[in-house]
């Protein structure tokens, strides 16, 4: 599919929806399942391209992984169960696969090579390679290990104390995986809290991780036990339907079993501050928080977004920018330089594509400014090979006064293979 024609103008959205499993948690469930002793059963796993790459990499590392319609079964044999891959490990478009695998492979006693697609080849890997090298890792790649392909000559690692220069859960997680194999106690300090799925899963698989003030502490030489994992719905996927429900007329969308881990719920805070008609009902759950979110058509107002909120909604900024075009007044998004190193430079791709539809939006050094409320037109836009840009533009077609031609929509399968089916089911003209 090279292009899709979207004409959702003036549709309303109604009904119940269960979005696919959380991408971050799905990746980690395979990784911990592979490193654990015994069987791990994963339910509501996200069968998106990125997570399928993680499965493929671990199969190449010698781990038996079975797929059924509704479960993934990982047969882990502990850290030593990972074997030298005869083939190159291909992470595709997935930054999480690439960076977390680096932390795992750095401490194994074999050689491996990691590549990704053309987007991955442009994304900075030195943010992981530099701290891992401090722990003794031997990783080589283009530009001194900044870019893939990366060759990992696994070795015994030593613990360290590391203050993260950027708020990144991928970097934190890579160091945690390295620390779990290192000699001694590794301490990580984050500039701001980021998603803590890795920490939660260490505990869920029977490992130990502690917090002392701002220090995150993990001891080396830990082993894990296989367990059952239920992956909550991805709030980052739900965000597109929260936005759609808020900007469409006569709408009420009820999202069930959505992950409500507080390190991920910045989008709910933003919608609330913008004045959206949103209700959240938390449910009892062991492990990751989960609940139901109801969104109805809303009158929105512009707000300022920055600081500690940014890591809690970093992946939702494209769709927040769209919301801001439909909000009364000015919205400022700042402290979000990290957008420049996502699947695309999301400051540029969001601003360029929304401008094509007539939005009043400008890029800044660390984010963007949006002036609402503006009437969006139809037009030809592109996902730029970025799943979240593609979904944001598809949602834009609800308020666009004409047809939108979206180039390269198939990339949406990276995180939400059933996106168009779900959208069609909920929309009525």
Catalytic positions, written as ranges: 315
- Residue matched to tokens 């109604």: 14
Strands 71-77, 64-67: parallel, antiparallel or unpaired by DSSP? antiparallel
Closest CA to 185 of 139, 216, 225, 207: 216
Residues marked as binding for 3-phosphoshikimate? 23-24, 28, 168, 170, 315, 342
Residues marked as binding? 23-24, 28, 95, 123, 168, 170, 315, 342, 346, 388
CB of 367 to ligand S3P, least distance (A): 15
CB of 39 to ligand S3P, least distance (A): 24
> Which residues are within 8 A (CB) of 167 and not within 5 positions of it... i.e. 6 or more apart?
190, 191, 192, 193, 194, 310, 311, 338
Nearer to ligand S3P, 318 or 378 (CB): 318
What is the binding site for ligand S3P (CB under 6 A)? Answer: 24, 96, 168-170, 173, 195, 314-315, 338
Nearer to ligand S3P, 98 or 374 (CB): 98
Nearer to ligand S3P, 12 or 168 (CB): 168
Nearer to ligand S3P, 134 or 338 (CB): 338
> Which residues are within 8 A (CB) of 304 and not within 5 positions of it... i.e. 6 or more apart?
331, 332, 334
Alpha-carbon gap, residue 46 to 414, rounded angstroms: 10
Alpha-carbon gap, residue 324 to 243, rounded angstroms: 10
CB of 343 to ligand S3P, least distance (A): 8
- Give φ, ψ of 269 to 5 degrees: -60, -45
CB of 349 to ligand S3P, least distance (A): 15
Alpha-carbon gap, residue 135 to 297, rounded angstroms: 51
Alpha-carbon gap, residue 99 to 341, rounded angstroms: 13
Nearer to ligand S3P, 117 or 338 (CB): 338
What secondary structure letter does DSSP report for 220?
A: S
Within 10 angstroms of residue 281's Cβ, the number of other Cβ atoms is 11
CB of 266 to ligand S3P, least distance (A): 12
Alpha-carbon gap, residue 136 to 288, rounded angstroms: 33
Nearer to ligand S3P, 46 or 74 (CB): 46
Residues marked as binding for phosphoenolpyruvate? 23, 95, 123, 170, 346, 388
Q: Find the length of the chain.
A: 429
- CA distances to 243, 299, 342, 387 from 253, in Å: 10, 16, 29, 22
CB of 96 to ligand S3P, least distance (A): 4
């Amino acid at each position: 599919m090279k292009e899709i024609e979207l004409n959702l103008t003036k549709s309303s959205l109604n009904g119940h929806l269960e979005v696919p499993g959380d991408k971050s948690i799905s990746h980690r469930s395979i990784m911990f399942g592979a490193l654990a002793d015994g069987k791990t059963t994963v339910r509501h796993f996200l069968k998106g391209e990125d997570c399928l790459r993680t499965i493929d990499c671990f199969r190449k590392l010698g781990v038996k992984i079975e797929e059924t319609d509704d479960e993934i079964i990982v047969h882990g044999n502990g850290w030593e169960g990972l074997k030298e891959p005869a083939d190159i490990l291909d992470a595709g478009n997935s930054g999480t696969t690439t960076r977390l695998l680096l932390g795992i492979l750095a401490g194994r006693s074999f050689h491996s090579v990691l590549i990704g697609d053309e987007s991955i080849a442009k994304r900075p890997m030195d943010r992981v390679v530099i701290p891992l090298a401090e722990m003794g890792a031997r990783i080589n790649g283009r530009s001194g290990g900044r870019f893939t392909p990366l060759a990992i000559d696994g070795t015994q690692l030593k613990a360290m104390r590391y203050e993260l220069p950027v708020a990144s859960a991928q970097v934190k997680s890579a160091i945690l995986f390295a620390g779990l194999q290192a000699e001694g106690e590794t301490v990580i300090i984050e500039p701001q809290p980021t998603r803590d799925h890795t920490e939660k899963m260490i505990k869920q698989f029977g490992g130990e991780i502690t917090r002392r003030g701002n220090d995150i502490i993990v001891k080396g030489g830990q082993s894990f036990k296989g367990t059952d994992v239920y992956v909550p719905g991805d709030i980052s996927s739900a965000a597109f339907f929260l936005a759609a429900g808020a900007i469409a007329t006569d709408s009420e969308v009820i999202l069930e079993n959505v992950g409500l881990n507080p390190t991920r719920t910045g989008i709910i805070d933003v919608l609330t501050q913008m004045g959206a008609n949103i209700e959240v009902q938390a449910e009892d759950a062991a492990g990751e928080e989960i609940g139901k979110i109801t969104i109805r058509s809303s009158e929105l107002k512009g707000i300022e977004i920055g600081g500690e909120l940014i890591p809690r909604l970093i992946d939702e900024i494209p769709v927040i920018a769209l919301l801001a075009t439909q909000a009364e007044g000015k919205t400022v998004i700042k402290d979000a330089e990290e957008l420049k190193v996502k699947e695309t430079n999301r400051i540029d791709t969001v601003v360029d594509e929304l401008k094509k539809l007539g939005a009043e939006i400008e890029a800044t050094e660390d984010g963007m400014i949006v002036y609402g409320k503006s009437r969006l037109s139809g037009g030809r836009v592109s996902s730029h090979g970025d799943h979240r840009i593609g979904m944001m533009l598809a949602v834009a077609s609800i308020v666009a006064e004409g047809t939108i031609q979206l180039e390269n929509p198939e990339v949406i399968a990276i995180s939400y293979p059933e996106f168009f089916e779900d959208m069609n089911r909920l929309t009525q003209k």
